[in-house]
Amino acid sequence: MDIAVVKSSGETTGRKVSLDTEVFGIEPNDHAIYLDVKSILANQRQGTHKSKQRNEISGSSKKIKKQKGTGGARAGNIKNPQFKGGGRIFGPQPRDYSFKLNKKVKDLARKSALTYKAKENSISVLEDFNFAAPKTKQYLAMLSSLSLATKKTLFVLPEANKNIVLSGRNVQNTKIITASQINTFDLMNADQLVLLESSINSINTILK
């Protein structure tokens, strides 16, 4: 699949790049995408939720009424879960939600996500560029010139670039990552994938 390379100003360069079919043109696997996204979201969970059980509640342990003869159910102390202010039954406890996913499944999921983007014509390739200094205004102007101001974009750089990252850090609906940070969740969450020309080789090296 060939995609035209454009400048950050929106002008065409007259060149095209070919996307490797082993990365951008496979048979997509929806279940692999589901598992990888589930894994990423699960790994982000803190798992620090906690409620107090009856042995952790402050209160008297005195029996509040006699065992028999009241006509009502038996009751122990005030920390009984049936009473207001009592302990919680089967409440949440701290736990780790993360789970292991095989590397081959992760790679398959990322390739599938990239393939979907290619099929939907949601990939743009920019000629390598840099900002002389961090300028959010300049970053917004670039989005406008590429007709991406209203879309949720994912910019992929070949390597960390402080000026570009700082320029787009506070811009809504845009995320900037390096090729080594590319993941299924970010790919599926974006409307448009914007690749710097030299980042394509990095992605091919990582996923092939």
* pLDDT, tens only, 49-69: 999 999 999 988 899 889 999
- The whole-number average pLDDT for the span 61-84 is 90
pLDDT score of 42: 96
Q: Per-residue pLDDT for 25 more than 90?
A: yes
Higher-confidence residue: 28 or 74?
Answer: 28
- The whole-number average pLDDT for the span 172-179 is 95
Q: What are phi and psi of 137, to 5 degrees?
A: -60, -40
C-alpha span between 186 and 23 (Å, rounded): 17
Q: Per-residue pLDDT for 192 more than 90?
A: yes
- The pLDDT-based confidence of 186 (bands split at 50, 70, 90) is very high
Task: Give domain limits for the chain.
Answer: 2-46+97-207, 51-91
Weakest mean pLDDT among 1-10, 19-28, 178-187: 1-10
C-alpha span between 125 and 16 (Å, rounded): 9
Radius of gyration of the chain (CA): 27
Q: Per-residue pLDDT for 40 more than 90?
A: yes
pLDDT score of 51: 94
Average confidence score pLDDT of the chain: 93
- The whole-number average pLDDT for the span 27-43 is 97
Residues 114-171 have pLDDT tens digits of 999 999 999 999 999 999 999 999 999 999 999 999 999 999 999 999 999 999 999 9
CB atoms under 10 Å from CB of 45, counted, come to 12
**Could you say which architecture CATH assigns to the domain 2-46+97-207?**
3-Layer(aba) Sandwich (3.40)
Q: Per-residue pLDDT for 1 more than 90?
A: no
C-alpha span between 24 and 111 (Å, rounded): 6
